[in-house]
Amino acid sequence: MANNQIRVRFAPSPTGGLHLGGVRTALYNYLFARQHGGKFILRIEDTDQSRFVEGAEDYINNCLKWCGIEPDESPEKGGEYGPYRQSERKPLYAEFARKLVESGHAYYAFDTPKELEEMRNSLKSDANPSPQYDQQIRGKMKNSLTLPAEEVDRLLKDQTPHVIRILIPPNETIQFTDLIHGEVSFDSNIVDDKVLLKADGMPTYHLAVVIDDHLMQITHAFRGEEWLSSTPVHILLWKYLFGVENMPAWGHLPLILGPNGKLSKRDGAKYGFPVFAMNWADHVSGELTEGFKERGFLPAAFINMLAFLGWNAGTAQEIFSKEELVKLFSIERVHKAAAKFDFEKAKWFNQEWIKRSNAADLMEPVKKIFDLHHIPTFTDEYLETVISLTKERCTLLTDFVLQAGYFFQTPRAIDELSIKPKWSDEKSLFFTHFASALEGLPDNNHDTLEHLFKEMATQQGIKPGELQMIFRIMLVGEKMGPGVFTIASTLGNTETAKRIHYGIEIMNALRK
Ligand code: GLU
């Protein structure tokens, strides 16, 4: 490989939302590239026009940006090995497919969809539920192996719709060393003659992935385990076109399991957790699938959690920044066994990250969430203070709405029922006096406020503890939040007095 530089790729098909497994693939490739001073490439595999979805590529770009795992080369960024969108590389693939036909490793197949269906139906049995186009069958079909050469020429000249299929050799053991699974081998007799070039002249994934990995000088290909069964086809193509010694090292990442087998988009809806990185609206049905971002995850927590879905550091430490992951990540520690996705654990990662983040760093995402909920955020200084007072209580960024919203908006309703049994004329009087006394106090003075409150309570012969609970409900609406005098001194005297008067009004009205 040119100057031995590590080059890895994330090669998604733009067909819809980006599943967390896809982000994990991108992340592991990214970490590996950064660790080795290599390049991380985004290649858009859009050769299947029937599955193409408008907007899906932009969505992938946005997800990678949000996660902070941006590619060095991509359709958006460009680079020396472009274009990075396979649909724009179309002419290149046909040439290689024809080369394979010439060298006898592939052949033209003219079977119509109807003929293919008939073949499948006639061979279908319990033992063979989905018959393949393979060495048993190819001799009975309409292709350049069975038709006379003149007939093939004529069909090609007439532009008869056709595909190019790989000719899988019989009785071969196709072997390779997977960086995660170790030695893997396949019996060529059970591999089918996959289509390489489709009737529309577009390559299939199998052909395009090999050619592009070669032309883009990819050194390592980490991808999901679902692609392991396709590797024999890829290895043969490498052998026929470029030589296996030039092949990237493969690493197939473990499956991700949900509560019931392989984690699927449907699991998200069923169990109420996000599966996609960001919100995705289906272009046909409009159905919205929630993303981790919108659910209130910090990108740092999301990628920290993903790093652990298939890998661990070998120590008890679980919280790592992206920079630490770059240093520590190792393919040797990626395990073969499927990784179980646990939403509670994912939330734990987020909670830890919120706790450890500076309030200043949380301002931007919290502001966005508050905007969505029409909560005004006042000054940056005030918002920062409130975030630092409440972040320990938030698991998701969206929790700030409940945990911090009352610092910006007077609660519309208060927990009257908790106050009611404790409410009396004396307490009403106490709060009326206390609210007036506040007017003479300087703002933001926690200790003076607490001192005054307790002193006035003692003077009236009421236990301050009982009053504090009422005071809290008047300010917050509920029995929650940081210290009540911290809340009051943050709200300021005018707002505190206003909420007290409102509380007194509600409580006295209840007694009428
Ligand atoms: N386009 C394939 C996908 O959507 C990429 C598989 C690979 O990385 O080889 O996952």
| Per-residue pLDDT, 266 | 87
Mean pLDDT of 213-229: 97
In this structure, which amino acid lies at residue 207? Answer: L
**In terms of domains, do 244 and 297 share one?**
no
Q: Which of 7, 25, 48, 209 most suits a substitution to test ligand 1, by most atoms within 8 Å of the C-beta?
A: 209
Distances (CA, A) of 216 to 6, 22, 97, 203, 269: 11, 21, 18, 17, 38
- Number of Cβ within a 10 Å radius of residue 206: 17
**In terms of domains, do 278 and 219 share one?**
no
Three-class SS of residue 178?
strand
**In terms of domains, do 272 and 348 share one?**
yes
- Residue 499 forms part of a structural domain: yes
Give the C-alpha separation, 367 to 381, whole Å.
13
**In terms of domains, do 397 and 470 share one?**
no
209 lines ligand 1 (CB under 6 A): yes
Decide which of 33 and 50 is more confident: 33
Would you state the structure tokens that stand for residue 377, as one six-digit string? 């955020």
Give the C-alpha separation, 291 to 88, whole Å.
30
Give the C-alpha separation, 75 to 471, whole Å.
58
- Residue 207 forms part of a structural domain: no
**In terms of domains, do 319 and 381 share one?**
no
| Per-residue pLDDT, 441 | 83
Mean pLDDT of 404-416: 96
205 lines ligand 1 (CB under 6 A): yes
**In terms of domains, do 177 and 127 share one?**
yes
Q: Contact 509/414 with Cβ under 8 angstroms?
A: no
Q: What is the torsion angle, in degrees rounded to the nearest 10, for the CA atoms of residue 118, residue 121, residue 123 and residue 127?
A: 160
**In terms of domains, do 265 and 249 share one?**
no
- Residue 433 forms part of a structural domain: yes
Mean pLDDT of 376-394: 96
| Per-residue pLDDT, 49 | 82
- Residue 204 forms part of a structural domain: no
**In terms of domains, do 395 and 429 share one?**
no
CATH number at residue 424: 1.10.10.350
- Which residue numbers are catalytic? 265
Site of tokens 């409940």: 402
Between CA 187 and CA 6, with CA 336 as vertex, the angle to 5 degrees is 90
CATH number at residue 123: 3.90.800.10
CATH number at residue 24: 3.40.50.620
45 lines ligand 1 (CB under 6 A): yes
| Per-residue pLDDT, 101 | 98
Three-class SS of residue 9?
strand
Point out the ligand 1 atom lying closest to the alpha carbon of residue 213. Answer: 9
Which of 129-138, 431-440, 443-452 has the weakest average pLDDT?
A: 443-452
> For 243-302, what is each residue's pLDDT tens digit?
999 999 999 999 999 998 999 888 988 999 999 999 999 888 888 999 999 999 999 999
**In terms of domains, do 266 and 350 share one?**
yes
- Residue 319 forms part of a structural domain: yes
| Per-residue pLDDT, 3 | 59
CATH number at residue 322: 1.10.1160.10
> For 303-319, what is each residue's pLDDT tens digit?
999 999 999 999 999 99
**In terms of domains, do 109 and 184 share one?**
yes
Give every strand in the sheet of 163-166, ordered side by side: 106-109, 163-166, 195-197
Residue 485 has pLDDT above 50, yes or no: yes
Domain membership of residue 164 as a residue range: 90-197
**In terms of domains, do 62 and 137 share one?**
no
Three-state SS for 45-72 is CCCCHHHCCCCHHHHHHHHHHHHCCCCC
Mean pLDDT of 177-204: 96
Q: Which of 86, 180, 205 most suits a substitution to test ligand 1, by most atoms within 8 Å of the C-beta?
A: 205
| Per-residue pLDDT, 357 | 97
Residue 2 has pLDDT above 60, yes or no: no
- Could you tell me how many helices (H) and strands (E) the chain has, helices first? 21, 14
pLDDT confidence band for 465 (50 / 70 / 90) = confident
Mean pLDDT of 325-343: 96
- Residue 183 Cα, ligand 1 centroid: separation in angstroms? 21
- Residue 363 Cα, ligand 1 centroid: separation in angstroms? 37
- Residue 171 forms part of a structural domain: yes
**In terms of domains, do 427 and 493 share one?**
yes
- Residue 150 Cα, ligand 1 centroid: separation in angstroms? 38
Rounded to 5 degrees, φ, ψ at 237 are -65, -40
**How many domains are contained in the chain?**
5
- Residue 85 forms part of a structural domain: no
Percent of the chain at pLDDT > 90 equals: 91
Percent of the chain at pLDDT > 70 equals: 99
Taking alpha carbons only, the member of 173, 192, 205 closest to residue 123 is 192
Mean pLDDT of 372-382: 94
- Residue 84 forms part of a structural domain: no
Residue 376 has pLDDT above 50, yes or no: yes
pLDDT confidence band for 467 (50 / 70 / 90) = very high
Residue 81 has pLDDT above 90, yes or no: yes
Chosen domain end from 319, 335, 355: 355
Point out the ligand 1 atom lying closest to the alpha carbon of residue 221. Answer: 8
Mean pLDDT of 425-444: 91
- Residue 25 Cα, ligand 1 centroid: separation in angstroms? 10
Point out the ligand 1 atom lying closest to the alpha carbon of residue 223. Answer: 8
> Which pTM was predicted?
0.93
Residue 114 has pLDDT above 80, yes or no: yes
- Residue 10 Cα, ligand 1 centroid: separation in angstroms? 7
227 lines ligand 1 (CB under 6 A): yes
> For 147-163, what is each residue's pLDDT tens digit?
999 999 999 999 999 99
Taking alpha carbons only, the member of 88, 77, 73, 92 closest to residue 7 is 73
Question: Which protein residue has the closest C-alpha to ligand 1 atom 3?
Answer: 12
Mean of pLDDT over the chain: 95
Mean pLDDT of 129-141: 94
| Per-residue pLDDT, 269 | 87
223 lines ligand 1 (CB under 6 A): yes
